[in-house]
């Protein structure tokens, strides 16, 4: 019997390269469907096409109901990316469906996009582009990164890359992470050693860690969310925590949209408590016309493209195909 695989992730499908060739070289029947697919869409597809042995997916919604319908034939869900919050992991384990992701392949790309968003917001780059294309020469006044304090909430792979780049800009970095290890300390020590050179003396970069979320919120000019989404930090940045921030704080989110209470954030933007918001993620996705952030001034949004570069697509794609093939090949032995 030929193994059947469903591929839904659009960046994988839209970007030619060795990742696609690697999948095509496998002896699978490959079905393509443009995601992210809702629970209803996945159930309909399974009814229409039948069972699959493997899934190479993005932000699709694999509820317990979907997973039960996939069983017993399904062997693996290979997540193209990192976040697993849209997959019912308990149900997958109960049904014997392996769930694998691709950590460590897109942190550089996402960190770069963080600063693309920040610079766009602080220097009004989209607005200036629109002004000049209209044949006008109106100039808005921006804000520098140098000398500002950046608070990083979440110090995993992306958070570390954001800290490194922030210090290149001459920023003071303050970090909160829910857990801390000796490796975290060693990383901070290495950063301090690198950035102690006199070449940085005009705006000496600094980096420190705090065990207090409140300290990060109250002392940061700019706040970067780099936390993994869990059931314990849903809408972590709510009205109470937003009120703890410096008035005029700038917030950037490249992690998960549901880390923020978007209605509370919209109110904070209208009141001036938050001066600007830049994000690559919203909740839900794709964006809905009723999202409270749409149309607000000083809000800069991109459609979850932080890891969508040719370089990163190939890295993630190859890792996802490798995960998929390893499980399916084992299942045939």
Q: Tens digit of pLDDT for each residue in 285-298?
A: 889 999 999 999 99
For residue 84, give both structure tokens. 């697993």
The whole-model pTM stands at 0.91
3 state DSSP class of 64: helix
Contacts of residue 279, Cβ cutoff 8 Å, sequence gap at least 6: 117, 251, 252, 253, 254, 257, 293, 300, 301, 302
CATH of domain 3-105+310-332: 3.40.50.720
The reply to whether domains 3-105+310-332 and 107-301 share a CATH topology is yes
Q: In what order do the strands lie in the sheet with 274-279?
A: 206-209, 172-176, 149-153, 222-225, 249-253, 274-279, 299-301
- Rounded distance, CA 118 to CA 171, Å? 13
Structural domain boundaries in the chain: 3-105+310-332, 107-301
Contacts of residue 93, Cβ cutoff 8 Å, sequence gap at least 6: none
Percent of the residues in the chain that have a pLDDT greater than 90, as a whole number:
96
pLDDT class of 1 with cuts at 50, 70, 90? confident
Angle between the N-to-C axes of helices 182-194 and 157-168, in degrees from 0 to 180, rounded to the nearest 10: 20
Contact 205, 173 (CB under 8 A): yes
For residue 332, what pLDDT is reported? Answer: 84
DSSP 1: -
Which backbone phi and psi does 216 adopt, to 5 degrees?
-60, -45
Q: Tell me what the pLDDT averaged over the chain comes to.
A: 96
For residue 219, give both structure tokens. 């002392």
DSSP 254: -
For residue 83, what pLDDT is reported? Answer: 86
Contacts of residue 259, Cβ cutoff 8 Å, sequence gap at least 6: 225, 227, 229, 233, 234, 235, 236, 237, 253
Dump strand ranges (E) for the chain: 3-7, 28-32, 54-57, 76-79, 98-100, 149-153, 172-176, 206-209, 222-225, 249-253, 274-279, 299-301
pLDDT above 90 for 129: yes
For residue 159, what pLDDT is reported? Answer: 98
Q: Which of 145, 96, 82 is nearest to 118 (CA)?
A: 145
pLDDT above 90 for 160: yes
CATH of domain 107-301: 3.40.50.720
pLDDT digits (tens, 9 = 90+) for 246-284: 999 999 999 999 999 999 999 999 999 999 999 999 999
- Rounded distance, CA 90 to CA 82, Å? 17
**Do the strands 3-7 and 274-279 form a parallel or antiparallel pair, or are they unpaired?**
unpaired
Contact 329, 307 (CB under 8 A): no
- Rounded distance, CA 325 to CA 98, Å? 12
Greater confidence, 141 or 231? 141
For residue 64, what pLDDT is reported? Answer: 97
pLDDT above 80 for 333: no
Report CA Rg, the chain.
Answer: 22
Contact 8, 57 (CB under 8 A): yes
pLDDT digits (tens, 9 = 90+) for 57-81: 999 999 999 999 999 999 999 999 9
pLDDT digits (tens, 9 = 90+) for 188-241: 999 999 999 999 999 999 999 999 999 999 999 999 999 999 889 999 999 999
Contact 284, 262 (CB under 8 A): no
State the sign of the Cα–Cα–Cα–Cα dihedral 78, 280, 61, 10: negative
DSSP 37: P
pLDDT digits (tens, 9 = 90+) for 17-36: 999 999 999 999 999 999 99
Burial 41-57 (b: 16+ CB within 10 A, else e): bbbebbeeeeebbbbbb
């Amino acid at each position: 019997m030929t193994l059947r695989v469903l591929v839904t992730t659009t960046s994988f499908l839209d970007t030619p390269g060795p990742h696609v060739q690697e999948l095509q070289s496998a002896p699978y029947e490959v079905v393509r469907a443009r995601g992210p697919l809702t629970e209803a869409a996945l159930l309909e597809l399974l009814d229409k096409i039948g069972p699959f042995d493997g899934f190479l997916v993005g932000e699709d919604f694999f509820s317990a109901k979907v997973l039960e319908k996939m069983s017993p034939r399904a062997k693996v869900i290979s997540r193209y990316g990192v976040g697993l919050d849209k997959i019912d992991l308990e149900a997958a384990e109960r049904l014997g469906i392996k769930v694998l992701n691709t950590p460590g392949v897109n942190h550089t790309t996402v960190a770069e996009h963080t600063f693309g968003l920040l610079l766009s917001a602080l220097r009004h780059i989209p607005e200036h582009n629109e002004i000049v294309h209209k044949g006008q020469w109106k100039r808005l006044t921006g804000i520098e990164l140098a000398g500002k304090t950046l608070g990083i909430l979440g110090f995993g792979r992306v958070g570390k890359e954001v800290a490194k780049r922030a210090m290149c800009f001459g920023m003071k970095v303050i970090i909160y992470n829910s857990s801390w290890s000796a490796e975290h300390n060693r990383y901070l020590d290495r950063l301090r050693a690198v950035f102690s050179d006199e070449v940085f003396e005009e705006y000496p970069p600094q980096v420190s860690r705090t065990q207090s979320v409140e300290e990060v919120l109250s002392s940061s000019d700019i706040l970067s969310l780099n936390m993994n989404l869990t059931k314990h930090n849903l809408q972590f940045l709510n009205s109470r925590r937003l009120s703890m921030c410096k008035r005029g704080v700038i917030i950037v989110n490249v992690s998960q949209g549901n880390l923020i209470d978007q209605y509370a954030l919209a109110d904070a933007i209208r009141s001036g408590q938050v001066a600007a918001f830049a994000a690559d993620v919203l909740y839900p996705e794709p964006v809905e016309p009723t999202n409270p952030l749409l149309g607000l001034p000083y809000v800069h949004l991109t459609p979850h493209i932080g890891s969508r570069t040719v370089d990163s697509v190939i890295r993630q794609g190859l890792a996802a195909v490798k995960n998929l093939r390893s499980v399916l090949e084992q299942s045939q032995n």
